[in-house]
Amino acid sequence: MKRTLELINQMQADGVIGQYAIGGAVGATFYLEPAATLDIDIFTTLPADQGNSLVSLSPIYEYLQARGCAVKQEHILIGGWPVQFLPPSNNLEREAVAEAIDTTVEGVSTRVMSAEHLMAIALHTGRPKDYIRILQFLEQEGVDRTKLDRVLERHDLTSRWKAFERKYLEGSDE
Amino acid sequence: MSKHEMREQLAALSFSEKIKILETLRDRSLVLAACGLRKMKDRGRNAFAPKSKIEAKEKV
C-alpha cells in the first residue's frame, strides 16, 4: 500500500489528479475492523479540461502505464493493489473528498473520507454490503450522529436513512 | 476475549496495521479464488468423482 499511495501522491503533485480521498472498504477500515477487500477506491477530482465537459480518466491511465502499472478491467494495478479511480459523481462525493481527513500509512500522507460521508455514500449506493458497513459503523459507535444527520439532510438522504432505520434497526419493513 | 472485544481491539489498531491485515486478507482471498477446490465446482455433480470414472461414463 505504501508504494501505491506514494505513486498516487506523486500523480497529484504532477497535476494529473486533484484532491483525492480513499473511500469504500479501505476507507472504512480507517474506522472499523479490517474487512477483506480486493481493491482500493480513490475518489478524485480531475484538473479542469478546457473546452471538454466530459470527464476522462485517460491522463491517469497514461501516466500510470508509463510507470509500469498494468490495466486490469476497471482497475489499474499500483504497487500490487488494484485501484479504481472514481471522479465524484454527485455533491455528496464532492463534499466527501473536500472534507476528508489527513492521515498516514507507513509514513506516507494520504486522505480518508470521514465516517459520516462513508456512511452517507453507503446509504446512497444501497447494496447489501453497503448496509452491512453502515451497521458496523453503528455497532462500533464510530460515528458522530449529529454530523451524520447534517450530511444526510444536506444530500436529501434523510428519508432513506429513516427507511434504513425502520428496516434494519427497528426490524420493521413498513 | 469476546467477539465484540476482539472486534474493538482490531478497530483500535493504527491505519497502517489495519492495512497490513487487509493485505493478508486480500492475498488469502486471491489464493482461495485460484485454488483447485473452487475449480472443481465447475465439474458439477462429478466434482468428487475420479477422472477415470467420469471418462468411462462419458463413453457410455
Residue of B nearest to A35 (CA): B22
Quote the CA–CA distance of A20 and A112 in Å, as a whole number. 8
Q: What is the pLDDT of residues B5-49, one digit of tens each?
A: 888 888 889 999 999 999 998 888 888 888 766 655 555 656 566
Assign A49 to helix, strand or coil: coil
Span between the terminal Cα atoms of chain A, in Å: 44
Summarize pLDDT for A53-85 with one digit per residue, the tens: 677 888 999 999 999 999 988 899 999 899 999
One-letter identity of residue A116: E
- The Cα–Cα gap between A71 and A111 comes to 24
Looking at the predicted complex, does its ipTM rise above 0.90? no
Name the band, by pLDDT with cuts 50, 70 and 90, for residue A49: low
User: How wide is the angle at C-alpha A97 spanned by C-alphas A120 and A91, nearest 5°?
Assistant: 60
Distance CA A132, CA A125 (A): 12
pLDDT at A48 over 90: no
Given this model, what pLDDT does residue A144 score? 92
Which of B14, B22, B27, B29 best tests the A interface by mutation, with the highest count of A CBs <10 A?
A: B22
Whether chain A has a CB inside 8 Å of the CB on B30: the answer is yes
Question: CA-CA distance, B13 to A164, in Å (whole number)?
Answer: 29
pTM: 0.83
DSSP summary character for residue A69: P
Nearest chain A Cα to B11, which residue?
A: A33
Provide the phi-psi class of A51: left if phi over 0, else alpha when psi is between -120 and 50, else beta: left
Q: Region A9-20: what's the mean pLDDT?
A: 95
pLDDT in tens, A139-157: 887 789 999 999 999 999 9
Nearest to A30 among B15, B28, B30 (CB): B15
- Residue whose C-alpha cell is 453497503: A130
> What's the pLDDT at B17?
93
Check B19 against A1: CB less than 8 A apart. Answer: yes
Q: Kindly write down the DSSP assignment for every residue of A109-168, as one continuous string.
A: EEEE--HHHHHHHHHHH--HHHHHHHHHHHHTT-S-HHHHHHHHHHTT-HHHHHHHIIII
